[in-house]
Amino acid sequence: MRTTLADERVLMKHGAGGRAMRRLIEEVMTVGLAEGLKPGDLGLNAMDDGAAIRIGDRWLVMTTDSHVVQPIFFPGGDIGRLAVSGTVNDLSMMGATEVLGLTCAVVIEEGFSRADLIRIQQSMRSAAIEANAPIVTGDTKVMGRGELDGILLNTTGVAITEHVVTDAGLRPGDHILLTGAIANHGFAVMTARHSLQLEGNLVSDVAPLNGLIRNVLAAGGRHVVAMKDPTRGGVSSALHEMAAKANVTIVLEEAAVPVTDEARAVSELLGIDPLHVANEGKAVIGVRPSVANAVLNALRAHPLGRDAAIVGRVVEGRPCVVLDTGVGRRLLVEPEGEPLPRIC
Amino acid sequence: MRTTLADERVLMKHGAGGRAMRRLIEEVMTVGLAEGLKPGDLGLNAMDDGAAIRIGDRWLVMTTDSHVVQPIFFPGGDIGRLAVSGTVNDLSMMGATEVLGLTCAVVIEEGFSRADLIRIQQSMRSAAIEANAPIVTGDTKVMGRGELDGILLNTTGVAITEHVVTDAGLRPGDHILLTGAIANHGFAVMTARHSLQLEGNLVSDVAPLNGLIRNVLAAGGRHVVAMKDPTRGGVSSALHEMAAKANVTIVLEEAAVPVTDEARAVSELLGIDPLHVANEGKAVIGVRPSVANAVLNALRAHPLGRDAAIVGRVVEGRPCVVLDTGVGRRLLVEPEGEPLPRIC
């Protein structure tokens, strides 16, 4: 019913992680794909970070991501580190921190530099070692000059876990934690792409989070009830999805959200809210109040969680995100999509 | 040591399934990626159709493929059917015919037709139902106009099996079977791409083979010792890989290789040997002589194996493929790569 003339072609916003993308996925990509799943399995219709399939008394978790970031090398990382981290993080967000294997499929434009390919491969290898996630199989395709802009990576990961954490488990009273400062990835890629000269040291946060999340689950156990990595569309998109799925209101305290001075400066320069900007090494975590402090301490004890904070509370109400600015409250509007294309 | 100036850029041949591609993968893509695997696991270094990871007393088999076929719709299939079939077939070639789940990652060029996207999605869905292989999770990215030629699909699959069949198990005395007529996929895509007008009905063979391979394994059991689907580089590349890995000579009887009249006509018109052309619904199978006839009968009893034939024998000798033309024998040269780019 929503289809209009403008919807007859795929637009940039359809890949940007916000409302437009969710509609495309719901209206086209997932239609009729649930048949083969057994009841209880978590498939595409759940629109989570991945799928969970029952194997005996455990779950096989699977997730896939293509990476088209531009430029491929940026402050703090590159497309290879991004691909490994993104997939490890999606598995981690479902509670699966022990990675059985990653696949790596690479599509390369004819004429691509072999030296750059080696650099990307070595970066993938380092990130895989960091995450203790072996890259077990791959595929290589080449497209003609002008048929692809440089290189594209797809990584798919599988892991086994006894307990799956979805992004739908919030209820009133729960606390929302952020594992660290936001928006550095999106802003770092953007400044690299447009060669903006900035003060300070703005670098992407891209990192595999499975070690950090292992600590979270050890501290919070089954009271860790929802996790999501705020990539495209940023923390705002992640919170909107969590609120919608659990049918709750999330109240976010703006002053509690960690933002570095460098990211703040770029945000003000460009007029882009850091809440809408992609991260690649952060998690939004919903926990029962009884474990909030234990999880916070576990986060802060890990190098990737030093700046973690409790940033919000879940309350009864219609599914939405309310921003408490300290001087008042307003609705946080869900972005139509990530403001920056090809951010991951 | 092999690196020369010409090797400093990635060329089309590096994605074409032959010697050039194998060198790129060995010299760049797989370097140092074995660390995380346990002894006995089958990873990238095995250069098989996928990986096999031990889980208890069974194996988790994983495989990944990107699909860049051009045109995306061709006689007998499309990129969606190709993606599902290709992944199901790679799993099947490792003996894993019960698919737990497939992932589907799609990268779309801005401006791509929504109707075509729906058509591709429905085709994936049909092929997945045909293979009883649920598509469990996905990813959608959009690239700008001119940054990607249309659409690209990545499918990754996982399956569990009690016994892994590699492509390295041949020994002298074994028989080589082909499940049907060759080269129809490559020639069908080529005629579609160049709008060649041909007599007859040349269509791609693209199909999921797990049902057929299930019959093969039921008939031959552990005496089925090597399988490979002859995609890029065709039957020739597949046989060369099998011969090299097992350090044996394969003698191929040219007259026994099934080729349709339509494919023969295109082959003669273009001067391309059908043995070098991609298939997407065929398997090369090596078996112990004791089960050769039983496996042949099992193949012929299945709709996808009606034209199956015993096409060769394994003999002692240096790793190579010898073509017996009926009037003499000559070395079958391994192609540098698939003659047609973007064939799958």
In this predicted complex, what is the ipTM? 0.92
- Cβ separation A143–B55 shorter than 8 A: no
The pLDDT value given to residue A234:
95
pLDDT 10s digits, B13-56: 888 877 888 888 888 888 887 666 777 788 777 777 789 999 88
Three-state SS for B164?
coil
B132–chain A Cβ distance below 8 A for any pair: yes
pLDDT at A4 over 60: no
Which residues 258-317 on chain A approach chain B with CB closer than 8 angstroms? none
3-state SS assignment for residue A134: coil
DSSP calls for B228-252: E---TTHHHHHHHHHHHHHT-EEEE
Residue of B nearest to A35 (CA): B134
Pairing mode, strands A135-143 and A99-109: parallel
Check: CB of residue B249 under 8 Å from CB of residue B315: yes
Report the candidate in A93, A84, A99, A206 with the shortest Cα–Cα distance to residue A154.
A84
Are B129 and B204 within 8 A, CB to CB?
no
Mutate to test the interface with A, among B141, B148, B155 (most CBs of A within 10 A): B141
Mutate to test the interface with B, among A137, A156, A164, A340 (most CBs of B within 10 A): A137
- pLDDT of residue B247 exceeding 50, the answer is yes
- Predicted confidence at residue A13, as pLDDT, reads 87
Q: In what order do the strands lie in the sheet with B284-287?
A: B224-228, B284-287, B175-178, B309-315, B249-253, B320-324, B329-331
Give the span between the Cα atoms of B279 and B258, in whole angstroms.
Answer: 13
The answer to whether the Cβ–Cβ distance between B158 and A21 falls below 8 Å is no
Structure-block tokens of residue A328? 């008042």
d(CA B117, CA B151): 9
Per-residue pLDDT at B13: 87
Amino acid type, B344 = C
In a domain, A164, yes or no: no
Between CA A144 and CA A164 the distance in angstroms is 42
Q: Which of residues 96-115 of A touch B (CB under 8 A)?
A: 100-101, 103-115
Q: Could you check whether the bond before residue A339 is cis, i.e. omega within 30 degrees of 0? A: no
Q: What is the dihedral of CA A13, A24, A312, A77, to 10 degrees?
A: -50
Contact with chain B for residue A341, Cβ under 8 A:
yes
Q: What percentage of chain A exceeds 90 in pLDDT?
A: 79
Domain span at residue A254 reads: 175-331
The C-alpha atoms of residue A183 and residue A205 are separated, in whole angstroms, by 9
Q: Which of A137, A142, A342 is facing B15, going by the closest CB pair?
A: A142
How much is the average pLDDT of A249-265?
A: 97
> Which string of b and e fits B148-187 if b means at least 16 CB within 10 Å?
bbbbbbbbbbbbbbeebbbbbbbeeebbbbbbbbbbbbbb
- How far apart (Å, rounded) are the C-alpha atoms in residues B317 and A39? 54
Q: Is residue A307 one of the residues assigned to a domain?
A: yes
Closest among B16, B17, B343 to B189, alpha carbons compared: B343
If one counts every other C-beta atom within 10 angstroms of the C-beta of residue B268, the result is: 10
Instruction: Please give the DSSP secondary-structure letter assigned to residue B168.
Output: -
Angle A146-A148-A154 (CA atoms, 0-180°, nearest 5)? 170
Does the beta-carbon distance from B113 to A142 stay under 8 Å? no
Alpha carbon of residue B116 to chain centroid: 25
Over range B279-294, report the average pLDDT: 98
Region of residue A318 (left: phi > 0; alpha: psi -120 to 50; beta: else) = beta
**pLDDT confidence tier of residue B4, bands split at 50, 70 and 90:** low
DSSP element (H, E) containing B139: strand B135-143
Which residues of B fall within a CB distance of 8 Å from A132? 36
A300 belongs to a structural domain? yes
pLDDT at res. A12: 87
Instruction: Tell me the sheet residues that pair with A312.
Output: A176, A252
Between helices A292-300 and A210-220, what is the axis angle to 10°?
A: 150
Shortest distance, CA B32 to any CA of chain A (angstroms): 7
Instruction: Identify the CATH number of the domain in which residue A241 sits.
Output: 3.90.650.10
Do B227 and B208 touch, CB atoms closer than 8 A?
A: no
**Rounded to whole angstroms, how far apart are CA atoms B44 and A103?**
9
Using one digit for the tens of pLDDT, what is the confidence trace for B210-239? 999 999 999 999 999 999 999 999 999 999
Rounded to 5 degrees, φ, ψ at A189 are: -65, -40
Confidence of residue B5 (pLDDT cuts 50, 70, 90): very low
In one-letter notation, the amino acid at residue A97 is T
User: Would you state the pLDDT for residue A5?
Assistant: 47
Q: Using an 8 Å CB-CB cutoff, list chain A residues near B96.
A: none
Q: What total of structural domains would you count in chain A?
A: 1
Q: Is A83 on the interface with B (CB under 8 A)?
A: no
* Domain-located, residue B115: no
Q: How far apart are CA B264 and CA B270, in angstroms?
A: 10
DSSP A6: G
Check if the beta carbon of residue A278 is closer than 8 Å to that of residue A343.
yes
With CA atoms as reference, the chain B residue closest to A133 would be B36
Phi, psi of B333 (to 5 degrees): -80, 135
Contact A339, A276 (CB under 8 A): yes
Any chain A CB within 8 A of the CB of B65?
yes
Q: What type of residue sits at position B185?
A: H
Round to whole Å and give the CA distance between A309 and A288: 15
Task: Flag whether residue B237 sits within 8 Å of chain A, measured between CB atoms.
Answer: no
HSE of B264, CA atoms in CB hemisphere, 13 A:
8
What pTM does this model have? 0.93
CB atoms B125 and A12 under 8 Å: no
Query: pLDDT-derived band of residue A201, with 50, 70 and 90 as boundaries?
Result: confident
Chain B, nearest residue to A119 by Cα: B28
- Give the per-residue pLDDT at B335: 79
Within a domain: residue A163?
no
Task: Note the residue count of chain B.
Answer: 344
Q: Which residues of A touch B50 (CB under 8 A)?
A: 137
Taking a C-beta distance cutoff of 8 angstroms, is the pair B24, B14 a contact?
yes
Residue A286 lies in a domain: yes
Residue of B34, B36, B156 with shortest CB distance to A156: B156
What's the full length of chain A, in residues?
A: 344
pLDDT tens digits, residue range B108-133? 999 999 999 999 999 999 999 999 99
**pLDDT above 60 for A280:** yes
Distance CA A268, CA A272 (A): 7
Dihedral angle sign, alpha carbons of residues A39, A41, A43, A48: positive
Residue B275 lies in a domain: yes
CA B107 to chain centre: 22
**A143 chain-B contacts, CB cut-off 8 A:** 15, 68, 149, 342
Say yes or no to pLDDT of A199 above 70.
no
The tokens describing B9, both together, are 């850029």
Q: Are A215 and A140 in contact (CB under 8 A)?
A: no
Contact (CB, 8 A) for B219 and B297: yes
Structure tokens at B286: 């090596």
Task: Report the alpha-carbon angle B40-A54-B123, nearest 5.
Answer: 90
The torsion region of residue B271 among left (phi > 0), alpha (psi -120 to 50) and beta comes to: left
The answer to whether residue A59 is domain-embedded is: no
Q: What is the pLDDT of residues B167-185, one digit of tens each?
A: 999 999 999 999 999 999 9
Region A40-49 average pLDDT: 76
Beta-carbon separation of B28 and A105 below 8 A: no
Chain A interface includes B136 (CB < 8 A): yes
